[in-house]
Amino acid sequence: MHPQLELLLEIQDLQMQRGGLADGTLGDMESDVFDIKVEDAISSLDEKVLELEGRLEEGVRKRYQLVTGKGPRVVAPVINGICYGCFVAISTARASETGRNRRVESCDHCGRFLYHLD
């Protein structure tokens, strides 16, 4: 896997966790069952995300900033040739390429970075 794609995946996973804590869905559970201080956890995640964002290369960072402007999900899984960010099929040429996830690529339709799961 391309190291920058791995970094993007990490950022995305942390942001999902942050989102769940902030909107209360996960936050209530974390605080009731696991005794987590939600506000502290959110600031700790924010710090980590900032640190990881600082490790994005110039070109990737520019695209990342474009995509984050549209919503929290920057990486979309590709399953059976469909981008699960916008539910549009990615080009068949691209879908059949080998060595997927070894390059940083993005969806022609929604711009999200693609992570092939199929």
| Euclidean distance between CA atoms 23 and 56, whole angstroms | 27
Phi, psi for residue 45 in degrees, rounded to 5 = -65, -40
Nearer to other proteins, 25 or 65 (CB): 25
From the list Zn ion, other proteins, none, partner contacted by residue 115 (C-beta under 5 to 8 A by kind): other proteins
Residue spans of beta strands (DSSP E) within 1-118: 75-79, 82-83, 88-89, 113-116
From the list other proteins, Zn ion, none, partner contacted by residue 109 (C-beta under 5 to 8 A by kind): Zn ion
Contact indicator for 75, 9 with CB cutoff of 8 Å = yes
Tell the residue number behind the tokens 């990737």, with chain if given: 60
Region label for 57, one of left (φ > 0), alpha (ψ between -120 and 50) or beta (otherwise) = beta
Nearer to other proteins, 35 or 58 (CB): 35
From the list other proteins, Zn ion, none, partner contacted by residue 16 (C-beta under 5 to 8 A by kind): other proteins
* 11 binding other proteins? (CB under 8 A): no
Q: What does the binding site for other proteins look like in residue numbers (CB under 8 A)?
A: 1, 6, 9-10, 12-14, 16-17, 20, 25-26, 29-30, 33-37, 40-41, 44-45, 48, 73, 75, 77, 79, 84, 115, 117
